[in-house]
């Protein structure tokens, strides 16, 4: 537990990894996930310091404690050595699925909202945050929209153009939210996007401020929903950020439901993307709160280790996804320059298998031919967009080899083989172990090759950090 800005207690999740005497990882509280700095381990004792940037109380805080079996005891030290709080957390060292265990669940909203027929397949599009952060502006959004059209990405299905944090200005005298100087006319921007055959997404928070410190929707939910509808908005990402200051922590469901009701009240269909970093098991309550998708993790970073840790830890969440309600392991980093072609293909294939939203996070104007071919692979996209809406799950985990299966409509399956390691491997699928019949028709969805009927199973070479994706027809 830690103390919230106003003195309330809230749970904390420590995601720590040890590398010799070094400790790295992140700490998650209601307002978000922040990396730890200066971590050290000695025996069973550890210490690290961190700063929670979006709290009014933001200051460097030292955590120190000890690991005793499954339990971590720690104290939080601030203000020149004064112990603020003692607490404990469940230990999940090097556990690839730390957040599906031992986490409290936020109370579901008192009255569940019924599904309203939006995003029956995972949303596809682009979001400004990964590449542009809060520096995004109207001209860049329009240029990206044009690039989506001219590159053929729009026609491949990427239609949502989502402006993340950084568009907001001040409220007017009537309390209505206004864009800042970088966005001269939001309604015109919406019209422009619609004219390009695209959809318009926007961002806000149930808190008074967003994570980047812009105006949030607290106390203005209905007014903002009406404003968004007037601007022609089709999609709202609603990010917890500072909402812990105005909502009790076990009322997350109500906070999101409030905006969901406000959006529905406008009469304009708007997708609600719930973003609270996977705290309090949103897969158990976010759909009832009116969410169409919900983040399951902290923010993705532009690195192999980040996408690997996030993507491969999603296996146990498969049962919670379905048409109109999706797990969201965060936006794509494909095309942002730090992943190899193999890694980009693996990132994309895994998100395809997870029935994850496919939200591009790069500068679409500068997409290399290799990256474009990955993002436009129609057969891979069809696996993600399959109308059955089932999320894939892991069926084999052997050393650095993983095999994932995703049930598809028509009794078909997608099967992905991954190599998380640093050397090539031979991955092996055995039909009997996968509960498939002796003869299975196989198609390679990256090479676009039919193999015909394969008896018993097969082995396949997979490059380091690479993958293969197959369509299996029985």
386 counts as catalytic: no
Pairwise CA distance, residues 388 & 408, whole Å? 6
Q: Give me the least distance between CB of 215 and ligand GLA, in Å please.
A: 12
User: Given the complex with ligand GLA, which of 164 and 343 has the nearer CB atom?
Assistant: 164
Pairwise CA distance, residues 270 & 167, whole Å? 18
Judged by CB under 6 A, the number of residues near ligand GLA is: 10
- The C-alpha angle 355, 358, 362, rounded to 5 degrees, equals 155
Using CB under 6 A, which residues numbered 90 to 129 contact ligand GLA? 129
- Does residue 215 bind ligand GLA (CB under 6 A)? no
Position among 229, 245, 275, 318 found at the interface with ligand GLA (CB under 6 A): 275
User: Given the complex with ligand GLA, which of 210 and 377 has the nearer CB atom?
Assistant: 210
Pairwise CA distance, residues 424 & 419, whole Å? 7
Q: Give me the least distance between CB of 237 and ligand GLA, in Å please.
A: 6
Window contacting ligand GLA (CB under 6 A); options: 207-215, 279-287, 309-317, 334-342: 207-215
- Does residue 279 bind ligand GLA (CB under 6 A)? no
Give the strands of the sheet with 293-295, arranged side by side: 326-328, 293-295, 271-275, 235-239, 199-204, 160-162, 124-127, 358-360
**272 CB neighbour count, 10 Å cutoff:** 26
Pairwise CA distance, residues 271 & 155, whole Å? 20
User: Given the complex with ligand GLA, which of 331 and 352 has the nearer CB atom?
Assistant: 331
- Does residue 307 bind ligand GLA (CB under 6 A)? no
> Sign of torsion, CA 349 355 361 365?
positive
DSSP-based three-state secondary structure for 129: helix
Q: Give me the least distance between CB of 80 and ligand GLA, in Å please.
A: 30
Pairwise CA distance, residues 289 & 226, whole Å? 19
Six token digits for residue 315:
């296996």
Q: Give me the least distance between CB of 311 and ligand GLA, in Å please.
A: 16
User: Given the complex with ligand GLA, which of 10 and 164 has the nearer CB atom?
Assistant: 164
Burial class of residue 374 (count of CB atoms within 10 Å of its CB; 0-12, 13-18, 19+) = buried
Helix (H) or strand (E) holding 422: none
Q: Which of 239, 328, 330, 386 is catalytic?
A: 239
- Does residue 229 bind ligand GLA (CB under 6 A)? no
Closest CA to 300 of 275, 271, 272: 275
Alpha helices in 71-173 (DSSP H): 129-132, 138-150
- Does residue 239 bind ligand GLA (CB under 6 A)? yes
- Does residue 232 bind ligand GLA (CB under 6 A)? no
Pairwise CA distance, residues 23 & 415, whole Å? 36
User: Given the complex with ligand GLA, which of 277 and 404 has the nearer CB atom?
Assistant: 277
DSSP-based three-state secondary structure for 292: coil
Closest CA to 44 of 23, 15, 14: 23
Six token digits for residue 404:
């994932």
- Does residue 132 bind ligand GLA (CB under 6 A)? no
- Does residue 164 bind ligand GLA (CB under 6 A)? yes
- Does residue 10 bind ligand GLA (CB under 6 A)? no
User: Where are any strands of DSSP class E within 96-136?
Assistant: 124-127
Position among 31, 36, 186, 212 found at the interface with ligand GLA (CB under 6 A): 212
Q: Give me the least distance between CB of 213 and ligand GLA, in Å please.
A: 8
Pairwise CA distance, residues 155 & 183, whole Å? 26
Window contacting ligand GLA (CB under 6 A); options: 79-87, 204-212, 368-376, 451-459: 204-212
Pairwise CA distance, residues 123 & 356, whole Å? 8
Pairwise CA distance, residues 106 & 253, whole Å? 7
Window contacting ligand GLA (CB under 6 A); options: 5-13, 96-104, 175-183, 205-213: 205-213
Pairwise CA distance, residues 331 & 219, whole Å? 28
Q: Give me the least distance between CB of 333 and ligand GLA, in Å please.
A: 12
User: Given the complex with ligand GLA, which of 271 and 405 has the nearer CB atom?
Assistant: 271
Q: Give me the least distance between CB of 127 and ligand GLA, in Å please.
A: 8
- Does residue 210 bind ligand GLA (CB under 6 A)? yes
- Does residue 333 bind ligand GLA (CB under 6 A)? no
Q: Give me the least distance between CB of 33 and ligand GLA, in Å please.
A: 8
Q: Which of 234, 299, 309, 330 is catalytic?
A: 299
User: Given the complex with ligand GLA, which of 129 and 348 has the nearer CB atom?
Assistant: 129
Q: Give me the least distance between CB of 304 and ligand GLA, in Å please.
A: 19
Pairwise CA distance, residues 28 & 13, whole Å? 5
**449 CB neighbour count, 10 Å cutoff:** 9
Position among 165, 234, 328, 333 found at the interface with ligand GLA (CB under 6 A): 165
Site pattern 24..63 for ligand GLA (x: CB under 6 A): --------x-------------------------------
- Does residue 211 bind ligand GLA (CB under 6 A)? yes
CA distances from 125 to 4, 99, 168, 319, 329 (A): 35, 27, 21, 24, 15
Residues marked as catalytic: 239, 299
Binding residues (CB under 6 A) for ligand GLA: these are 32, 129, 164-165, 210-212, 239, 275, 299
């Amino acid at each position: 537990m830690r103390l919230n800005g106003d003195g309330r207690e809230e749970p904390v999740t420590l995601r720590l990894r040890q590398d010799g005497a070094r400790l790295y990882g992140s700490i998650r509280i209601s307002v978000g996930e922040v990396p730890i700095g200066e971590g050290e381990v000695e025996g069973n004792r550890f210490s690290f310091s961190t700063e929670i940037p979006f709290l009014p109380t933001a200051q460097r805080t030292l955590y120190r404690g000890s690991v005793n079996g499954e339990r971590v005891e720690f104290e939080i030290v601030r203000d020149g050595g004064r112990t603020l709080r003692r607490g404990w957390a469940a230990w999940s060292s090097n556990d690839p699925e730390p957040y599906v265990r031992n986490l409290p669940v936020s109370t579901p909203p008192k009255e569940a909202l019924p599904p309203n027929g939006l995003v029956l397949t995972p949303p596809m599009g682009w979001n400004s945050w990964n590449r542009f952060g809060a520096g995004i502006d109207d001209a860049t959004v329009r240029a990206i929209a044009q690039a989506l059209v001219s590159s053929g990405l729009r026609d491949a299905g990427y239609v949502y153009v989502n402006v993340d944090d950084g568009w907001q200005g001040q409220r007017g005298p009537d309390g209505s939210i206004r864009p800042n100087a970088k966005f001269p006319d939001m309604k015109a921007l919406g019209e422009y996007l619609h004219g390009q055959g695209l959809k318009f997404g926007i961002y806000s928070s149930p808190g008074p401020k967003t994570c980047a410190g812009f105006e949030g929707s607290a106390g203005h939910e209905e007014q903002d929903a009406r404003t968004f509808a007037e601007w022609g908005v089709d999609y709202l990402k609603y990010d917890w950020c500072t909402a812990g200051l105005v909502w009790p922590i076990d009322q997350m469901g109500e906070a999101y439901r409030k905006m969901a009701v406000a959006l529905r009240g406008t009469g304009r269909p708007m997708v609600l993307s719930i973003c609270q970093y996977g705290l309090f098991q949103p897969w158990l309550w976010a759909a009832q709160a009116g969410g169409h998708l919900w983040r399951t993790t902290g923010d993705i970073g532009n690195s192999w280790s980040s996408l690997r840790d996030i993507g491969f830890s999603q296996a146990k969440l498969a049962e919670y996804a379905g048409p109109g309600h999706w797990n969201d392991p965060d936006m794509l980093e494909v095309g942002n320059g730090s992943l190899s072609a193999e890694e980009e293909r693996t990132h994309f294939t895994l998100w395809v298998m997870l029935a994850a939203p496919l939200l591009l996070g790069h500068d679409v104007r500068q997409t290399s031919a290799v990256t474009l071919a990955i993002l436009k692979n129609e057969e891979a996209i069809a696996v993600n967009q399959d109308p059955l809406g089932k999320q894939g799950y892991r069926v084999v985990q052997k050393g650095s080899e993983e095999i994932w299966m995703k049930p598809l409509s028509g009794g078909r399956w997608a099967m992905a083989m991954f190599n998380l390691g640093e050397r090539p491997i031979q991955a092996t699928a055995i039909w009997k172990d996968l509960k498939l019949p002796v003869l299975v028709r196989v198609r390679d969805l990256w090479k676009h090759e039919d193999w015909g009927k394969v008896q018993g199973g097969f082995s396949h070479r997979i490059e380091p950090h690479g993958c293969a994706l197959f369509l299996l027809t029985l």
